[in-house]
Structure 1
Amino acid sequence: MMKKIQGGIFSSILCGALSTMVLPGCTGNRSAEGSRLSVDSIPMDTTVYLDASNPKAPKCQIKINFKYLRSAEANDSLTEVINKVLEEAFSSAHAGAASPQAFVSAIKESLASDYLKDVQKNYETDVKNGMKADEIPDWYNYEYEINSELTEGKDSIWNYSVTTFQYTGGAHPSSWGHWVNVDARNGRELTKEKVFRKGTDEDICKLIFVRLLEEANRKLETDTLTCLEGLNQMGILLDTDLYVPDNFRIGKDGVTFLYNQYDIAPRPMGQFELTVPYEEINTYLIKK
């Protein structure tokens, strides 16, 4: 389907069939005789072209995969509440759309519009001034990819992770993760304040630090990092102290903490996912 947008050409493919994973025993669901939930997915692969008549013209690739809950019951208010939290985590600027499909479409339209606003006038000026196809700089080509995963965590908790990759003409592409945990019993997001006991950050950081040393040694293919000084020499925790991040997952075997690129280490080291088992961290968790 081809649609003109602000002088550009917009080609989009929205998968009509939803990818579905049925979870008959998940997170407080009732048995087959009662309500059942499934994790549905809306994948979208879209390309925005600056000039449809020129196959070598710059373009923006947009890939989206939004996962959310679907209930077998027509009026399941709890599932609606949970999905609202998932939308906020995936793209807060577009949350509250009439349907999951409309939500994904709104994100697509927004990214496409932003791309054309950013580069189209400059491109048209360059072409008018005689720029040839083999002279087009790479920074005219943008790329966005937003993926999500929705899985069962500990007890009655949903784990939701959103991973965003984007290249918008800079020296390097950027990527980051955003994690939330949702109480399946009431649909509320479980923030740090609701999960970890007040005043325990220092103790939790000591547990995280042990895993950080292990992971840093693994990434660097060494076993010589044993202290903060060694990490500092590698650029880790050089400009910040270790802290309990907002991104964490209350998993089945432990609590995993996510540090994105640049949070605690230089870009080449990527992100860190550090899991502390429950037998070590339980004492610092707020009991339900």
Structure 2
Amino acid sequence: MMKKIQEGVISFIFCGALSTTMLPGCTGHRTVENNRAVVDSVLMDTIVYLDKGNTESPKCQVKINFKYLKSAQANDSLTEVINKVLEETFSSAHAGAVSPVAFVSSIKESLASEYLNDVQKNYETDVKNGMKADEIPNWYNYEYDINSELTEGKDSIWNYKVTTFQNTGGAHPNTWGRWVNVDATNGKILDKKNLFVKGTEEKICGLILPQLLAEANKRLETDTLTCVEGLNQVGILLDTDLYIPDNFLLGKDGVTFLYNRYDIAPYYLGQFELTVPYSEIETYLIKK
């Protein structure tokens, strides 16, 4: 039963059935490096039904938007290196596929398989025991949406953002991001160690704090938060000190730091994207 459903899902992708689309589409965005490559994408939207052929049965919807570089030149080793980094960031477990389309297909097949393994037996048991359509609990329905953005940042740096939305029957869905900076001249990831001057974390956090206070006041519709103690009272930085996150981007105008849900604040406050202008933080950046 499970094998047949999985095979049917595969055929949806390659036969172009209405429930699934997977299309590469060039955005026309050019790289910093000699205009040799453009930002392209593989888009995929599919639905896996627990009861194959029954669109009223519980389902898992998977949406994927994988951005990568497409070179106009043969044997472009630099673009290959950068794309490997992008794949590792997007989904390390599936990196190294023969093509971007195969990479996305592998991710989709994995999520579909996990869904069937998680709930199919329980669902079949419930149906066998007489569960009616209007009695099916909502937690049988899963949803995944993995999106990416690839843009030019400061100097010769690619900014890559991967945002994952996941709803797998828990108390609430969750969304998180992973951001990386890629040197467009050699394909290497630029992380905290090779971008921020050693020993300056406290000073950098001192620049992030006003941004955090301003954003927290805005979200809570107040102007009373002026210090860490005030943030603590509303649940922000309650269990951790302010720190430089691994997720940040060197954009055109400043450094933006991403704190995912639960990193520094409770779920209901969402994630925080806090930008410090280069005019303030430049002195703490390692010059390249």
TM over 0.5: yes
Q: Which amino acid aligns with 1:23?
A: H
1:15 corresponds to which letter in structure 2?
M
Name the counterpart of 1:40.
40
Give 1:21's aligned residue. Answer: 27
1:125 aligns with 125
CA distance in 2, matches of 1:270, 1:242: 16
- For 1:233 and 1:15, the matched residues in 2 are separated by 47
> Is contact 1:158-1:184 (8 Å) kept?
yes
Please state whether the residue corresponding to 1:56 is helix, strand or coil: coil
Q: Please identify, of 49-58 and 4-13, the stretch whose mean Cα deviation from structure 2 is larger.
A: 4-13
Match of 2:209 in 1: 209
Q: 1:77 aligns to what?
A: 77
Measure the CA separation in 1 of the matches of 2:2 and 2:133.
Answer: 22
2:3 equivalent to 1:6 = yes
Code of the residue aligned with 1:244 in structure 2: it is I
2:224 aligned counterpart, secondary structure:
coil
Of all paired residues, the percent bearing the same amino acid is 72
**C-alpha separation between the residues in 2 aligned to 1:161 and 1:205?**
22
**TM-score computed with the length of structure 2 as normaliser:** 0.93
Partner SS for 1:91: helix
Residue in 2 that maps onto 1:253:
253
Structure-2 residue corresponding to 1:33 = none
Q: Distance in 2 between matches of 1:46 and 1:254?
A: 37
Counterpart CA distance in 2 for 1:264 and 1:116 is 34
Match of 2:168 in 1: 168
Asked if structure 2 preserves the Cα contact closer than 8 Å seen for 1:22 and 1:37, the reply is no
- The one-character-per-residue Cα deviations of 1:77-132 (angstroms, maximum 9, x if unpaired) are 00000000000000000001111111001001000000000000010011111111
Larger % of helix: which? Answer: 2
Look up the match of 2:148.
148
CA distance in 2, matches of 1:146, 1:271: 16
Letter in 1 for 2:189: E
| Offset, 1:260 | 0.4
Matched, 1:278 2:284: no
RMSD of the alignment, in Å? 1.3
Query: 1:5 offset after TM fit, Å?
Result: 4.7
Moved more, 49-58 or 227-236: 49-58
Counterpart-to-counterpart distance in 2, 1:230 and 1:126? 50
- Given residue 3 of structure 2, which amino acid in structure 1 is its aligned partner? Q
One-letter amino acid matched to 1:239: D
Aligned to 1:111: 111
**TM-fit CA distance, 1:248:** 0.1
TM-score (norm 1): 0.93
User: How many angstroms apart in 1 are the aligned matches of 2:226 and 2:276?
Assistant: 18
| 1:210-269 superposed Cα distances (whole Å, 9 cap, x missing partner) | 110011111112211111111111110011111100000000100000000111011111
Instruction: Kindly indicate whether the alpha-carbon contact (under 8 Å) linking 1:6 and 1:116 is maintained by their aligned counterparts in 2.
Output: no
Count of aligned positions? 278
Separation in 1, partners of 2:237, 2:29: 40
Q: Deviations over 1:168-193 (max 9, x none)?
A: 11010011000000000000011111
Change (3 A) 1:5 1:45: farther
Q: One-letter code of the match for 1:29?
A: N
Deviation, structure 1 residue 22? 2.2
Partners of 2:28 and 2:136 lie apart in 1 by: 47
Which runs of no fewer than 5 residues in structure 2 stay unpaired?
14-19
The answer (yes or no) to whether the contact 1:245–1:257 under 8 Å persists in 2 is yes
Query: Gaps (5+ residues) in structure 1?
Result: 31-35
Which residue of 1 is the match for residue 62 of structure 2?
Answer: 62
**Distance in 1 separating the partners of 2:181 and 2:43:** 22
State how far apart, in whole Å, the 2-side matches of 1:6 and 1:270 are: 39
Tell me by how many angstroms 1:53 deviates.
4.5
Whether the 8 Å CA contact 1:96–1:103 is kept in 2: the answer is yes
